[in-house]
């Protein structure tokens, strides 16, 4: 009886050991499987991240390329518009230059009196002061108001010569101005004190002042 009991205990102990070995093997297998699944998950996540990064990079490169192409197209369009505007301007100038040249030729072909006929104003009391509207002062002369000249291109250069010089010296200086400082096609007027007024065309030059 005792022998049977001992044998039964040994059998249970052997089964328990066998069970323990099986459990440990299963746990180890589960652990390995867990690690394997974890590694597979990491690999899958890494692959998905790399794929996402690649797609993102491709989208960014496409967007960058699109912007570059848009900039190039816009620059080309601006350049084309600029060229078209320049062509239109050149064509307009081709039409205007002959007209302006003709108008200038017609203007300079007129005498000074023809050009200033509507720019003469009365002076009063033997002065160079123009008569103001409504005044009743004695009119003693006339002067030319260049701001009233219609073509707007006439100007007067006033050469003052020292009044203390002799007539011979004054004449010599005045003639030197005419010979060496002025072109041949200007209107000349000798002033009362021996100076010189030269009537010239400005040729579009804007005078900084009237003095």
Would you state the pLDDT for residue 18?
52
What is the chain's mean pLDDT, rounded? 81
Mean pLDDT of 192-210: 79
* pLDDT bucket at 177, cuts 50 / 70 / 90: very high
Greater pLDDT, 170 or 104? 170
- Please state, in angstroms and rounded to a whole number, the distance separating the CA atoms of residues 118 and 134: 20
Structure tokens given for 159: 């050469």
Would you state the pLDDT for residue 131?
67
Mean pLDDT of 115-121: 86
Q: Where are the domains of the chain?
A: 1-106, 110-144, 153-211
Mean pLDDT of 81-100: 90
- Please state, in angstroms and rounded to a whole number, the distance separating the CA atoms of residues 186 and 153: 13
Would you state the pLDDT for residue 114?
87
CA-based end-to-end distance of the chain: 150
- Predicted TM-score (pTM) of the model is 0.47
Structure tokens given for 205: 């030059």
Structure tokens given for 96: 């205007």
The yes-or-no verdict on residue 186 having pLDDT over 50 is yes
The yes-or-no verdict on residue 82 having pLDDT over 50 is yes
* pLDDT bucket at 118, cuts 50 / 70 / 90: confident
- Coil, helix or strand for 29? helix
* pLDDT bucket at 2, cuts 50 / 70 / 90: very low
The yes-or-no verdict on residue 89 having pLDDT over 80 is yes
Greater pLDDT, 186 or 22? 186
Radius of gyration, CA atoms only, the chain: 54
Mean pLDDT of 91-113: 83
Greater pLDDT, 46 or 129? 46
Would you state the pLDDT for residue 207?
66
């Amino acid at each position: 009886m005792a022998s049977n009991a001992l044998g039964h205990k040994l059998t249970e102990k052997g089964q328990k050991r066998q069970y323990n070995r099986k459990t440990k093997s299963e746990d180890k297998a589960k652990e390995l499987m867990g690690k394997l699944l974890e590694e597979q998950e990491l690999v899958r996540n890494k692959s998905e991240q790399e794929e996402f990064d690649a797609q993102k990079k491709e989208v960014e490169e496409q967007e960058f390329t699109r912007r570059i192409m848009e900039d190039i197209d816009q620059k080309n369009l601006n350049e084309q518009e600029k060229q078209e505007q320049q062509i239109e301007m050149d064509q307009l100038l081709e039409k205007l230059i002959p007209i302006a040249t003709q108008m200038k030729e017609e203007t300079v072909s007129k005498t000074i009196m023809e050009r200033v006929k509507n720019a003469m104003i009365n002076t009063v009391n033997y002065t160079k002061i123009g008569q103001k509207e409504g005044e009743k002062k004695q009119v003693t002369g006339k002067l030319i108001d260049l701001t009233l000249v219609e073509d707007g291109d006439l100007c007067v250069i006033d050469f003052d010569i020292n009044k203390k010089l002799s007539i011979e010296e004054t004449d010599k200086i005045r003639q030197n101005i005419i010979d060496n400082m002025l072109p041949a096609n200007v209107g000349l007027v000798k002033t009362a004190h021996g100076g010189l007024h030269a009537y010239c065309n400005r040729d579009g030059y804007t005078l900084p002042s009237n003095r």
